[in-house]
Structure 1
Amino acid sequence: MGTSGWVYPPWRGEFYPKGLAHRRELEYLSGQLRSVELNGSFYSLQRPTSYQSWFAQTPDDFVFSVKGPRFITHMKKLRDADTLLANFFASGVLALGAKLGPVLWQLPPTMRYDPAVLVEFFAALPRDTETAAALAAKHDERLDGRAWTSTDARRPVRYALEVRHPSFQVDAFPELLAEHDIACVVADSAGTWPYFEQTTASDLVYLRLHGDAELYTSGYTAEALQRWADKIRGWRRGHEVYVYFDNDVKVRAPADAMALADLLGVGRQRSGTG
């Protein structure tokens, strides 16, 4: 349970205590929640030193989901991705070690359902950290001198796909994801994008809650959170469930995430300072 990102100026003095140093915001968030969706990796390749720092700032049981680069999803539309995937994994993702959670791929609203493109992309994805490290070693010259190409242990690497074009609303799409063991993101978007509830991965369910009344803005009522809690309890029978609130405009995401975590009995033991 967590939020999509953590660097939001409006959270300062609201969720984050007044006077908290900006460099300690992740540390503070990780004391309130158990996970975060790392979205800086969507906008640009990060550096191994950043991933090492994020690892060091968080408790042992904290987990990062990592958002795949928009250059792959939005510019290349998943095509010709082998070297781009090598660069992504070489940028430091594997430095998260045991704190690496699922990798999220968010497709643009203009990208239509094309099973051939999806199948080729899925085939290129490394499914464990050793394979990811071997792929990372094939990075291009842009990562020379700043690549991370090793792993401390062999662990599975799992993936979730969020789609935003209505052409994906066909029975063949979740069937294709199930065939390739990719989670179909359950995206609550105030009716803006397609909505799926199928469990298409063998052990993973991935939710992104963008706002149920107004995209990115509206908070979730107690009744709405209870409905999500009931759904999540069902999914947790046989699956790990990752839930990220993306309704950050009005500083609702952290409060909603903590409230839902408490409903499910997975909240942090918090003091009265936050």
Structure 2
Amino acid sequence: MAPQAAASIRVGIGGWTFEPWRGPFYPAGLPHRRELEYASGRLTSIEINGTFYGSQKPESFAKWHDETPDGFVFALKGPRYATNRKVLAEGGASVERFVTGGLLELKDKLGPINWQLAATKQFDPTDFEGFLKLLPASHEGRRLRHAVEVRHDSFRVPELVDMARAYGVAVVVAGDSKYPQIADPTADFVYARIMGTAEDQELGYSPSALDAWAGRARAWAAGGLADGLETVGGAPDKAPRDVYLYVIGAGKVRNPAAVQALIERLG
């Protein structure tokens, strides 16, 4: 058998436009129009939150592609119109509009899509599986990767893990968060959002916490489980997995510093 390709680890922030980053992260005098260019030169991924709130033009996706370096990858938040609804399985039209709305203009910089559910949305196995069936495996010959961010404790059951694995969809790992933690790998990639940064920490996290998260990313990439995180299902296969880790913490002004510290630890 041919050796399996090594997994990649990408670490980033949510969005790139945030006024308090001007100074601590963005240099004084940097034009706002160049902030994405600057951020993408120092981070390895960004999760685009604007796609959650409204549709974007194909030209915007193309522009973001052109402003970022080779090897950079975007994650996209799926639109709330598809996920913030009583019956998830009825969101097919919204899913289709999003997938066909120009995101392929990101080309090789298109990473996973995060479908974030409302915090009040409870686990209904039939409806949840109906939603998973709506997520296309590909579009115009381009493979699509999907992650689902569940935020209600009712999802912390083995049935959820089994279902996600059956459809090859990642369950977003909530780190240092008020949301339920389901750190079971369920796809050929892991999608984590960590939310424990603090403004009084120069790097957002303590050195030991940064070491721990870097170690977890390495463990996932090697096909293992992450130390110190809660799982609810059976053991996954041990194949290498690409890792997408986003620092989305409450101490938002420190998030870019935390990402850069993690990238440095990961080499």
TM-score exceeds 0.5: yes
- 8 Å CA contact 2:81–2:91 kept in 1: the answer is no
1:261 and 1:32 map into 2 onto residues whose CA distance is 9
TM (norm. structure 1) is 0.82
| 1:92 Cα deviation after fit | 1.5
Partner in structure 2 of residue 141 of structure 1: none
- 8 Å CA contact 1:211–1:220 kept in 2: the answer is yes
- CA displacement, residues 68-108 of structure 1 (integer Å, 9 cap, x when unaligned): 00111114552312221121123221111111000001111
Is residue 174 from structure 1 mapped to residue 161 from structure 2 by the alignment? yes
- 8 Å CA contact 1:109–1:163 kept in 2: the answer is yes
Letter aligned with residue 173 of structure 1: L
1:14 and 1:248 map into 2 onto residues whose CA distance is 16
- CA displacement, residues 170-219 of structure 1 (integer Å, 9 cap, x when unaligned): 111111111111111111143x1101111111x101110111679xxx92
Partner in structure 2 of residue 219 of structure 1: 204
Cα gap change, 1:250 to 1:156, in 2 (>3 Å)? closer
- 8 Å CA contact 1:13–1:19 kept in 2: the answer is no
The alignment's C-alpha RMSD in Å is 1.7
Is residue 87 from structure 1 mapped to residue 97 from structure 2 by the alignment? yes
1:252 and 1:39 map into 2 onto residues whose CA distance is 18
Is residue 199 from structure 1 mapped to residue 185 from structure 2 by the alignment? yes
- 8 Å CA contact 1:77–1:111 kept in 2: the answer is no
Superposition pairs for residues 160-171 of structure 1, below 5 Å? Answer: 160-171=147-158
Partner in structure 2 of residue 258 of structure 1: 260
Classify the secondary structure of the residue corresponding to 1:251. helix
Partner in structure 2 of residue 29 of structure 1: 39
2:98 and 2:191 map into 1 onto residues whose CA distance is 21
Partner in structure 1 of residue 194 of structure 2: 209
Classify the secondary structure of the residue corresponding to 2:88. coil
List gaps (5 residues or longer) in structure 1: 131-153, 266-274
- 8 Å CA contact 2:198–2:251 kept in 1: the answer is no
Letter aligned with residue 182 of structure 2: F
Q: Which moved more, 1:86-95 or 1:76-85?
A: 76-85
1:126 and 1:112 map into 2 onto residues whose CA distance is 23
Superposition pairs for residues 48-67 of structure 1, below 5 Å? Answer: 48-67=58-77
2:92 and 2:160 map into 1 onto residues whose CA distance is 23
1:77 and 1:106 map into 2 onto residues whose CA distance is 14
Partner in structure 1 of residue 248 of structure 2: 246
1:88 and 1:41 map into 2 onto residues whose CA distance is 9
| 1:56 Cα deviation after fit | 0.8
Partner in structure 2 of residue 228 of structure 1: 213
2:197 and 2:17 map into 1 onto residues whose CA distance is 23
List gaps (5 residues or longer) in structure 2: 1-10, 223-239
- CA displacement, residues 117-170 of structure 1 (integer Å, 9 cap, x when unaligned): 12111112111132xxxxxxxxxxxxxxxxxxxxxxx33211111111111111
Superposition pairs for residues 65-80 of structure 1, below 5 Å? Answer: 65-75=75-85, 77-80=87-90
TM (norm. structure 2) is 0.84
- 8 Å CA contact 2:189–2:243 kept in 1: the answer is yes
Classify the secondary structure of the residue corresponding to 2:39. helix
Aligned residues: 237
- CA displacement, residues 236-259 of structure 1 (integer Å, 9 cap, x when unaligned): 111000011112644111010110
